[in-house]
Amino acid sequence: MDGLTAVLENRPPGKPVKLTEVRTRIPRHASSHRVAEVLTDLELLEDDTTLAIRPWIDDRTAELPAGFASDVRAWLLVLLDGDSRAKPRSRTCLYVYFGSVRPLLGRTRSPADCLLPQRRSRDVDV
């Protein structure tokens, strides 16, 4: 009860509590996880946290060549959040998928480079 008291005291009735506030204001001997559960049951918890994977996506895609960055970022966010045709994927899945395409993207300057015909040595007239 000490945790709930710390968070709810001096708060107007019905006003939601942010999860970051729960984590910072709860006394050491109280469980912030349990307080969050109770507030969720009372429909008073507002989750204002950001998943750690989102900054990871932004950092990794910022390192890509300009022509790829926005499309790869959009692809990773669809994998993470899902859409009308696909279920959300796990964070591990994103790490694996991105890890497998990253070396290929690093070798190419822009998406147009992928579309140019490649000349093999046997195609060149000598």
Q: Identify the pLDDT of residue 78.
A: 94
pTM comes to 0.55
What per-residue confidence (pLDDT) applies to 106?
A: 73
CA gap 19, 44 in Å, rounded: 10
> What is the amino acid identity at position 87?
K
Decide if pLDDT at 95 tops 90.
yes
Question: Residue 43: left (phi > 0), alpha (psi -120 to 50), or beta?
Answer: left
Q: Please state, in angstroms and rounded to a whole number, the distance separating the CA atoms of residues 32 and 23.
A: 6
